[in-house]
Homo-oligomer: A and B are copies of this chain.
Amino acid sequence: MAIMVQKYGGSSVATPAHIKRVAGHIARSREQYDRLVVVVSAMGDTTDDLLDLARQISGRPSPRELDMLISTGEQQSSALLVMALQEIGCPAISLTGAQSGISSSNVHTRAEILAIDPSRVVKELDEGKVVVVAGFQGVNGNGDITTLGRGGSDISAVALAVALGAPVCEIYTDVEGVFTSDPRIVKNARRLDEISYEEMLELASLGAKVLHPRAVEFAQKFNVTLHVRSSFTWAEGTLVKGVDELENKRVVSGVACDLNTAKAVIMGVPDRPGVAQKVFAALAEANINIDMIIQSMMRDGRNDIAFTVERSALPEAIEIMERVARELGAEGVAHDAGVAKVSIVGAGMVSHPGTAATMFGALADAGINIEMISTSEIKISCLIQEADAQKAMQAIHERFHLDA
């Protein structure tokens, strides 16, 4: 009784022709798995089209009604996929999130899954059907439809794998897996056979858009292996699993780049206790997330405090900083939206002390200036000028022999 949960993203079911191809693959998968649950996203741009309809009606539509609206995209694709399966003689049934027993919190448009009662899913599996679940959705305590936010269908799939005891969850998308870097930017970027949850989380938060961090965290928590693979080539992809289960811990697994970042500096802050706290408390109050932080060496009893924020948050951050600068008697505020954060990620980094030096050397040899640095156990990030980003990624990728 082998069980598998498969998830197909929007690009995998974008048209009726795509849906038929996916149905063919599911039917072939049944030779290997006699219990098969499939989670499906909305077709192509359906969700965006629905959001656009909503925007034509209201500038700030109610989250409950947005969920009522956009959850229909996955309901449609799940029904169409079942029709395609039945057409080729594969018994199947579609279920909404509610019918699948996916109970969620009450926070519309970004609800969390609280529990799954898989009894209906199990009943249909027992009857020999492939169960196709509308992804991205659940039902709250009022019986109202909720959606799970960005990456929601990945989360639906992982949660169903946990509830049904499936050890692996296949995530079908339009890329062949997780790569050592973005193949559109870095020559010779290579698909990884495996990667740890932790590395994947760092890569996802650094702008590698393959898997949503919440889905990876969920898989990590319940130790479900994710298999990220392509619905266009059907080739073996990348396994995302526990670091202890990796066949080899690479020092560096990948190079990522995040362009959605901007640098802000508050200059000449008097060096008094509580000053940094004052700056960052004001930003936190406005719900602005801070990423890297550097406080410069003191000169003349004053410090420079530099940090990075998402680019869209920069105008509001500057406004707040200018107010705080006046209050603190600082010298002024500066900013630069033309920066990029280049990072290396690797589970083996922690036991290889020379890794940071190697990275900095690669950048120096390429003539690239490093403006800020931050590190964690499995990650080193450097802020550089945006214009240097591609050159930097290529240089680092080659220096660590990631194409090998």
Chain A interface residue count, Cβ-Cβ cutoff 8 angstroms:
37
- Say if the beta carbon of A79 comes within 8 Å of chain B: yes
Chain A at the B interface: SS class:
helix
What is the minimal beta-carbon distance from A106 to any residue of chain B, in angstroms?
14
Which of B20, B94, B120, B145 is the one whose CB lies under 8 Å from A68?
A: B94
The 0/1 profile, CB within 8 Å of B marked 1, for residues 55-79 of chain A is 0111101101110110110011011
Which of B16, B72, B75 is the one whose CB lies under 8 Å from A53?
A: B16
Q: Which residues of A, 2-31, contact B by the 8 Å Cβ criterion?
A: 16, 19-20
Most buried by B among A19, A83, A143, A145: A83
Taking a contact as CB atoms under 8 Å apart, the answer to whether B86 and A79 are in contact is: no
- Say if the beta carbon of A126 comes within 8 Å of chain B: no
Decide: A56 near B94, CB < 8 A? Known: A69-B76, A143-B99, A143-B120.
no
Give how many copies assemble into the complex. 2
Taking a contact as CB atoms under 8 Å apart, the answer to whether A79 and B83 are in contact is: no
- Say if the beta carbon of A87 comes within 8 Å of chain B: yes
What is the minimal beta-carbon distance from A302 to any residue of chain B, in angstroms?
51
Which of B65, B83, B99, B145 is the one whose CB lies under 8 Å from A83?
A: B65
Q: Which residues of A, 33-66, contact B by the 8 Å Cβ criterion?
A: 50, 53-54, 56-59, 61-62, 64-66
A344 / chain B contacts, CB cutoff of 8 Å: none
- Say if the beta carbon of A219 comes within 8 Å of chain B: no
- Say if the beta carbon of A216 comes within 8 Å of chain B: no
Closest to A69 in B: B79
**CB pairs A–B below 8 angstroms (15 shown):** A16-B57, A50-B76, A54-B79, A54-B80, A57-B80, A57-B84, A58-B86, A61-B86, A65-B86, A66-B83, A68-B79, A69-B75, A72-B75, A72-B76, A99-B143
